[in-house]
Every structure is written in structure tokens, then in C-alpha cells.
Amino acid sequence: MTEQRVSYTLDSTLETVDSAEQAASRIASEAGFDDDEVMRIAMAVREAAVNAVLHGNAYDPGKKVSLAFERIGENLVITIRDQGKGLDPDKIPDPLAPENLLKTSGRGIFLIRSFMDEVQISPSQTGTEIKLIKHVPGPSEGAKEASQ
Amino acid sequence: MSMKTSTRQVNGVTIVDCSGRITLGEGSVTLKDVVRDLLSKGQKKILLNLGDVNYIDSSGIGELVSAFTTVRNQGGELKLLNLTKKVHDLLQITKLYTVFDVKDDEAGAIKSFS
């Protein structure tokens, strides 16, 4: 598998959220994921971009969102970085807890974790980096799944 | 594609036919405005037909929850009709499928309103 990297620097706007989702959809599709997985990956990227634009950079026009897609070995690795105050993943309430079920926000990170194989959140004082990793099924795995 | 809605009345129930995407920004604002408008007119039996909603993000889910609780707090009922598989799966993994009253038959859904 060839190593590839595509990166973008984006403004802190709602358009960035749509652009990130569209780029993720295209790249995941080109990487060979099926339609359902493409949708899940694109949604995970959308949710991470929403967090970066809204909660990280808080729509600050002076702050940027960086987005990178890489093929590393058998993985598609997507990195989204903002320039906000840093998101503490330990302080995110469990959206499945009964007392949180009817809250109107707080499901983004949960959905990201549900849709990706691995999620690494690295907060710092200069922003939050979130790394989304999805294993790319090889031709042999696809054939095995298809024959089952 | 952004979200579009149209409303119709059947036996005292307002059916809101939704299509497109319920996402952060335009889609979730549209849903909020429609529900607020119906409540202001005293229409508190609301059936959201999501049969043509092909995508919803966490903000859209949040807006559905907000609509549900807002209507309920005003003594009304809001139910969901014709979920696509994607929306159904999202409500399942977020454990909201059992919170909402979800229907797959319009006539039956209309009869179910008290």
C-alpha cells in the first residue's frame, strides 16, 4: 500500500465542517471502504470538525483548523487540529447515562468513537488534536467477508 | 442538500414531512423554527415524517431531542415516522430509539395520538 498524505488548512466556519465531511467521504471512498463505512468515517470527521470550529476555535476568524488524511500501512489516519483552549476528554459526560439522554448536545465524541476503530485526543494549551484511525480492509479480507 | 419541510393536517395531527439533512446550521434551525411555529399556533400533536431524511448529525439529533422535550413540556406529543436505516441506527446507538415514540405506519401513527 502506498503512503499518501493530503492536508488542508481551513477557516473556523460552518463551511469548513461541510468541506471536511466531503473530503473525508471522497478519500474514504477512494481508499476502498464500502458506502456504510464511508458514511461513518465522513460523519466522524464532520463531528470532529464541528468540535474544532465551534468548541475549539469558537468561530474565531484568526484561528484555523488543520485537517490531514494519511494512509499509514493498512490504516486511514485522519488528524484534525484546532487552535482553541484544549478539550479535556475526561470531562465529557457520558451521553448514554440516563440523566444525559435528553441533553441536546454532547454526542459528537461518542459518535466519533462509535464509528472509528481508534480515536486519540491530545489536548494542549495551544489547541486540541484528534486522530481518527480506521483499518482499511485489504482485498483478501473483502473477499473473505464476501464469501461468508 | 439542506433540509426542507412541508406540513399537513390529518385528524388533528400535524404531519411535518422533512427531507434532506438535519445538520448543524440550516437543517437544525429549520426544524426548530417549524416546531416553534406549530406550538405558537396551538398545534401540539406533531408527527415528524423523516422518510426522506438521509442524514443527521449530532446537532440534528440534539434538535430532535429539543423538539421532543419542548413539545412535551407544553403538554403536546411529538412522534417520529418512517426512519431511514441511517437515522434508525443513529437513534439506536445513542439510546434515543426508546425515548422517542417511533412509528412506521402513518395511519397507525395518527391514531396513536391521544
DSSP B32-72: HHHHHHHHHTT--EEEEEEEEEEEE-HHHHHHHHHHHHHHH
| Chain-chain contact of A102 with B99 (C-beta, under 8 angstroms) | yes
Residue of B23, B25, B65 lying closest to A104 (CB–CB): B65
Angstroms from B8 CA to nearest CA on chain A: 27
pLDDT at A89: 83
DSSP state of A1: -
pLDDT at A140: 56
Q: Which residue does chain B place closest to A37, by CA atoms? A: B86
CATH number of residue A104's parent domain = 3.30.565.10
Partner-chain contact B65 A102, CB within 8 Å: yes
Per CB-CB distance under 8 Å, the chain B contacts of A114 are: 93
CATH code of B49's domain: 3.30.750.24
- Residues of chain A in contact with residue B93, where contact means CB-CB under 8 angstroms, are 111, 114
The predicted pLDDT at position A141 comes to: 57
Average pLDDT of B52-78?
95
Pair B21, B5: CB distance under 8 Å: no
Rounded to whole angstroms, how far apart are CA atoms B4 and B26?
Answer: 10
Mutate: best of B3, B22, B59, B91, partner A, most A CBs <10 A = B59
Residue B27 has what pLDDT?
A: 76
Q: Which residues of chain A have pLDDT under 50?
A: 1, 142-148
Q: How confident is the model at residue B86 (pLDDT cuts 50, 70, 90)?
A: very high
Of B24, B66, B86, which is closest to A104 when you measure between CB atoms?
A: B66
pLDDT computed for residue B1 by the predictor: 59
- Cα pseudo-dihedral B21, A46, A92, A132, rounded to 10: 140
CA distance B86 to chain A (A): 9
C-alpha cell at B11: 385528524
Residue of higher predicted confidence among B17 and B27 = B17
Its pTM stands at: 0.90
**Contact in structure between A4 and A68 (CB atoms under 8 Å):** no
Q: Which range marks the domain in which residue A30 is found?
A: 4-147
Nearest CA in chain A to B94: A96
Number of folded domains in chain B?
1
Query: Which sign, positive or negative, has the C-alpha torsion A16, A17, A22, A24?
Result: positive
Closest CA–CA distance from residue A1 to any residue of chain B (Å): 31
Global ipTM: 0.90
Helices (H), chain A: 14-30, 35-50, 108-115, 139-147
Q: Is the pLDDT of residue B63 over 90?
A: yes
Counting residues of chain B whose pLDDT is more than 70, the rounded percentage is 99
A vs B, Cβ pairs < 8 A, gives 47
pLDDT of residue B2: 79
- Mention every residue, 6+ apart, whose C-beta is less than 8 A from residue B110: B10, B11, B13, B15, B47
Per-position DSSP letters for A56-69, written without gaps between them: ISTT-TT-EEEEEE
**How much is the pLDDT for B42?**
96
Number of domains in chain A: 1
**Bridge-based pairing state of the strands B13-22 and B4-10:** antiparallel
Which of A14, A46, A107 minimises the CB distance to B94?
Answer: A107
Show the domain range for B84: 4-112
Report CB contact under 8 Å: B94, A111. yes
Q: Would the CB atoms of A50 and B24 count as touching at under 8 Å?
A: yes
Per-residue pLDDT of A41-83, as tens digits, reads 999 999 999 999 999 999 999 999 999 999 999 999 999 999 9
Q: What mean pLDDT comes out for the span B68-80?
A: 97
